[in-house]
């Protein structure tokens, strides 16, 4: 009876090792602190009404960024533990982590950074910026937006739950490759946490991808043809196309692994005809486009940043669009370069090697266009521009390493070495992360109403850049020297100084991140001096700068008529000064229809979390309840007729006059 209700869960699965106790303890302390603060300030109701149940993409975007920052912190902690271990564990010393634990750490580090930190930051920025830039008020499907966010949170929670229940995460690497992830070699709950956490958050991402796709194609302001869209919106569109194309592959591959583990099937087992190589084929069919999903929005952010801070329209808009589109298409044709060494043979490897090399071409076009935009522009060297310059150096460097790896012959030497690790971190940190920082510093004044402290921001940038090179150049060198990835211990003493240099780099990066936190704190303190009163602190070019800072919850009182690219720049040159038309007697306001808040997204995600947890522990009764809960909630939602409300024209006029 106990087994039927509690499945595999026993008292022994509660924390009893130092790191699970530590992890559980810190989670509990943070939750308690938040609860105390909310109670003391009497803000529970405010939190629920203004934020948690909101369907406003501006609010959802900020929640995504906050959650992503939390998960980034956790992922960075994992990175620190890896670095520390590797700098200590040479020759006769064995560091402080045992191999099994070390394997769980690098697995968790990868999953958290890719799925929860980076995807979270980017989805947040998309939510904040895309509707404003296309002159819309909301996304196409506000309910799916909030649902997608809460599914993301549910996945993040589930990924951290092993601290409290079970004490083990997958020890398989971030993609849980078969047959290591099969029951035979991973009998514990670790891989199951991995499975359900990613299925749930993956569904959230897929919904977000569909949402942005429909929004961008169907909800642009009148006059905004595709070729007048800001480049950030183009990159959001291409990213969404990739999401909708490849996330189903991730879902079904994880599902097949789940069927193997739960129902004893044989897709990827090493017996009864299973084919583990098929897992690797399918998972990378998703995995490669995923990294392009992570970088494309960044390309868009940089297009905006470079043109704004060069006070010049982007050079080669058409080639930017074509380049982004080509990257999107080619991204779907290169996945085998992740397993050149698995043995597909020369002709298959050659095809994919060439297609991988081809991707460098449209990428190069983008880079040259950015540089051409800067040429003969009046450059303002504000923080976002620093991040762009850091990106140009770093990403190009890492990209060249990628072209090196794209040759199968070279890859046979460097596959799964630290050279590879350095390459992809250069792309994700130097590329995606720097673009996220650029985006956040660029658009911070728009959403918070005041600018960030520039001086501290510059310090933070330099610390990150220097720290990054200190951390990862040694890894490139180590890769050439033969060091493979995921080593918890090595015997060659000449490697140790390089690992230690890398640790110093990590410490510099941590200083940079702390500096960013200081920047936020100081900026909040100085907010009155740095208030953005015009809504256009950078002399921007696109429509988001046409609103106040922060924008009203309905974005635009009157949907703008777009007449060209860089729509706001064009509006500004048409009207001598004000960036918003205010309170002039001849403006005709109209009723606006907006979506209501809803808690249904939270409920569905809550049931999904419950279901996922129950499945991990084989608690079939609870799993059934969770699944039924999801279905019932969704059906109830479809019967809900009153999901919108009307903001009358008079009310709009009143709110506009107040700004």
Partner 1 sequence: MKSETGTQYSAQSDKNYFGFWVYLMTDLIMFAGLFAAFAVLRNNTFGGPSGKNIFDLPFVLIETVLLLTSSFTCGLAVLSAVRNKKKGTICLLGLTFLLGAGFLAMELYEFSHLFEEGNTFQKSAFLSSYFSLVGTHGLHITAGLIWMIILFLYILKKGLTKGSVRKLTLFGLFWHFLDIVWIFIFTIVYLMGVAL
Partner 2 sequence: MKTIVSYSIGFLLSMIFTLLAYNLVFVHLNSHHRLISHPVLLVAILTLAMVQLFVQMIFFLHLGQESAPKWNLLFFISTFCAILAIVIGSIWIMDHLNYNMTPKQVNQYINDQSGF
- Whole-number Å distance between alpha carbons of 504 and 483: 19
Our CB check for partner 2 shows the closer of 222 and 585 to be 222
Output the smallest distance, CB 554 to partner 2, in A: 27
Taking Cα atoms as reference points, which of 452, 469, 477, 546 lies closest to residue 508? 469
Phi, psi values for residue 270, rounded to 5°:
-90, 5
- Whole-number Å distance between alpha carbons of 405 and 146: 40
Residues 76, 204, 57, 245, CA torsion sign: positive
Output the smallest distance, CB 377 to partner 1, in A: 33
Our CB check for partner 2 shows the closer of 244 and 530 to be 244
How much helix, strand and coil, in percent to the nearest 5, is found in the chain? Answer: 70, 0, 30
Q: Using the rule CB under 8 A, is 586 a contact of partner 1?
A: no
Q: Using the rule CB under 8 A, is 559 a contact of partner 1?
A: yes
Measured in whole angstroms, the distance separating CA 42 from the mean position of its chain's CA atoms is 32
The tokens describing 637, both together, are: 């939602």
Residue with tokens 């799993």: 623
Residue 232 · residue 297 · CB < 8 Å: yes
Output the smallest distance, CB 569 to partner 2, in A: 26
Please enumerate in sequence order all residues whose Cβ is within 8 A of that of 578, keeping only pairs 6 or more positions apart, or say none. none
Q: Which of residues 120-159 bind partner 1 (CB under 8 A)?
A: 136, 140-141
Count residues binding partner 1 (CB under 8 A).
48
Q: Using the rule CB under 8 A, is 600 a contact of partner 1?
A: no
The tokens describing 590, both together, are: 């109209």
Q: Which of residues 260-279 bind partner 2 (CB under 8 A)?
A: 275, 277-278
Our CB check for partner 2 shows the closer of 343 and 585 to be 343
Q: Using the rule CB under 8 A, is 249 a contact of partner 2?
A: yes
Using DSSP's 3-state secondary structure scheme, residue 273 falls into coil
- Whole-number Å distance between alpha carbons of 168 and 454: 43
The tokens describing 471, both together, are: 């951390």
Our CB check for partner 2 shows the closer of 38 and 265 to be 265
- Whole-number Å distance between alpha carbons of 219 and 135: 8
Interface map 297-336 toward partner 2 (x if CB under 8 A) = -----------------------------------xx--x
Output the smallest distance, CB 274 to partner 1, in A: 5
298, interface contact from partner 2, partner 1, none, CB < 5-8 Å by kind: none
265, interface contact from partner 2, partner 1, none, CB < 5-8 Å by kind: partner 1
Using DSSP's 3-state secondary structure scheme, residue 645 falls into strand
Interface map 270-309 toward partner 1 (x if CB under 8 A) = -xxxxx--x---x---------------------------
Among 635, 642, 657, 658, the residue binding partner 1 under the rule CB under 8 A is: 635
Among 343, 378, 585, 635, the residue binding partner 2 under the rule CB under 8 A is: 343
Among 245, 341, 496, 530, the residue binding partner 2 under the rule CB under 8 A is: 245
Dump the DSSP string for 12-65.
GGS--SHHHHHHHHHHHHHHHHHHHHHHHTT-HHHIIIIIIT---HHHHHHHHH
Q: Give the chain's count of helices (H) and strands (E).
A: 22, 2
Dump the DSSP string for 326-391.
HHHHHHTT-GGGGGGGGS--HHHHHHHHHHHHHHHHHHHHHHHHHHHHHTTS-----HHHHHHHHH
Phi, psi values for residue 537, rounded to 5°:
-70, -25
The tokens describing 502, both together, are: 């890398």
Q: Which of residues 320-349 bind partner 1 (CB under 8 A)?
A: none
Output the smallest distance, CB 345 to partner 2, in A: 5
β partners of residue 647: 592
Convert 453-474 into a string of H (helix), E (strand) and C (coil): CHHHHHHHHHHHHHHHHHHHHH
Interface map 221-250 toward partner 1 (x if CB under 8 A) = xx---------------------xxxxxx-
567, interface contact from partner 2, partner 1, none, CB < 5-8 Å by kind: none
639, interface contact from partner 2, partner 1, none, CB < 5-8 Å by kind: partner 1
Residue 378 · residue 320 · CB < 8 Å: no
Output the smallest distance, CB 261 to partner 1, in A: 12
Output the smallest distance, CB 244 to partner 2, in A: 8
Among 318, 347, 491, 586, the residue binding partner 2 under the rule CB under 8 A is: 347
Among 29, 35, 217, 350, the residue binding partner 2 under the rule CB under 8 A is: 217
Count residues binding partner 2 (CB under 8 A).
19
Our CB check for partner 1 shows the closer of 244 and 496 to be 244
211, interface contact from partner 2, partner 1, none, CB < 5-8 Å by kind: partner 1
253, interface contact from partner 2, partner 1, none, CB < 5-8 Å by kind: partner 1
Our CB check for partner 2 shows the closer of 77 and 333 to be 333
Where does this chain bind partner 2 (CB under 8 A)? 217, 241, 245, 249, 275, 277-278, 281-282, 285, 332-333, 336, 342-345, 347-348
Where does this chain bind partner 1 (CB under 8 A)? 136, 140-141, 206, 210-211, 213-214, 217-219, 221-222, 244-249, 251-253, 256, 259-260, 263-267, 269, 271-275, 278, 282, 559, 590-593, 635, 638-639, 641, 644
């Amino acid at each position: 009876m106990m087994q039927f209700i509690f499945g595999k869960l026993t008292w022994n699965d509660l924390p009893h090792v130092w790191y699970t106790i530590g992890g559980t303890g810190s989670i509990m302390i943070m939750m308690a602190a938040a609860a105390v603060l909310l109670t003391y300030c009497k803000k529970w109701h405010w939190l629920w009404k203004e934020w948690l149940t909101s369907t406003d993409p501006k609010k959802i975007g900020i929640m995504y960024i906050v959650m992503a920052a939390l998960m980034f912190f956790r992922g960075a902690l994992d990175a620190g533990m890896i670095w520390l271990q590797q700098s200590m564990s040479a020759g006769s010393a064995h560091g402080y982590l045992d191999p099994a634990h070390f394997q769980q750490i690098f697995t968790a580090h990868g999953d958290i950074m890719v799925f929860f930190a980076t995807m979270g930051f980017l989805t947040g920025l998309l939510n904040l910026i895309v509707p404003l830039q296309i002159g819309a008020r909301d996304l196409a499907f506000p309910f799916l937006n909030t649902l997608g966010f809460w599914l993301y949170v549910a996945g993040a929670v589930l990924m951290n739950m092993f601290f409290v229940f079970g004490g083990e995460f997958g020890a398989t690497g971030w993609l849980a490759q078969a047959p290591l992830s099969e029951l035979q070699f991973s009998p514990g709950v670790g891989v199951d946490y991995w499975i359900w956490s990613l299925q749930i958050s993956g569904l959230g991402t897929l919904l977000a991808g569909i949402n942005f796709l429909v929004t961008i194609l169907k909800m642009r302001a009148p006059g905004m043809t595709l070729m007048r869209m800001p480049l950030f919106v183009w990159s959001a569109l291409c990213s969404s196309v990739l999401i909708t194309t490849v996330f189903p592959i991730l879902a079904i591959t994880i599902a097949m692994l789940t069927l193997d583990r739960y129902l004893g099937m044989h897709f990827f087992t090493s017996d009864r005809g299973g084919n583990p190589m098929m897992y690797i084929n399918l998972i990378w069919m998703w995995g490669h486009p995923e990294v392009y999903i992570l970088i494309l929005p960044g390309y868009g952010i940089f297009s905006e940043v470079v043109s704004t801070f060069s006070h010049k329209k982007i050079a080669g808009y058409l080639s930017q669009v074509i380049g982004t589109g080509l990257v999107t298409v080619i991204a779907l044709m290169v996945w085998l370069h992740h397993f050149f060494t698995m043995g597909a043979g020369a002709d298959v490897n050659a095809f994919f090697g060439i297609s991988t090399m081809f991707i460098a071409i449209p990428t190069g076009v983008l880079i040259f266009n950015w540089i051409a935009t800067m040429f003969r522009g009046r450059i303002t060297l504000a923080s976002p521009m620093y991040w762009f310059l850091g990106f140009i150096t770093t990403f190009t460097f890492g990209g060249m390493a990628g072209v090196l790896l794209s040759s199968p012959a070279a890859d046979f030497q460097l596959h799964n070495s630290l050279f590879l690790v350095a390459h992809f971190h250069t792309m994700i940190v130097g590329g995606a992360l720097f673009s996220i920082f650029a985006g956040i510093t660029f658009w911070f004044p728009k959403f918070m109403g005041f600018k960030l402290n520039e001086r501290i921001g510059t310090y933070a940038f330099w610390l990150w850049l220097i720290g990054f090179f200190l951390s990862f150049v040694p890894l490139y060198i180590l890769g050439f020297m033969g060091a493979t990835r995921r080593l918890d211990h090595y015997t060659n003493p000449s490697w140790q100084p390089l690992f230690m240099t890398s640790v110093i780099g990590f410490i510099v990066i941590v200083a940079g991140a702390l500096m960013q936190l200081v920047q936020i704190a100081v900026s909040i303190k100085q907010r009155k001096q740095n208030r953005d009163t015009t809504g256009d602190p950078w002399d921007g070019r696109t429509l988001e700068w046409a609103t106040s800072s922060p924008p009203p919850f309905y974005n635009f009182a009157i949907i703008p008529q777009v007449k060209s690219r860089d729509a706001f720049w064009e509006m500004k040159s048409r009207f001598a000064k004000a960036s918003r038309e205010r309170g002039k007697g001849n403006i005709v306001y109209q009723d606006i229809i907006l979506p209501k808040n809803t808690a249904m997204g939270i409920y569905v995600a809550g049931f999904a979390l419950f279901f996922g947890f129950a499945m991990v522990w084989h608690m079939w009764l609870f799993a059934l309840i969770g699944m039924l809960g999801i279905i019932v909630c969704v059906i109830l939602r479809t019967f809900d007729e009153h999901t919108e409300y009307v903001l009358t024209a008079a009310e709009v006029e009143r709110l506009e006059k107040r700004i």
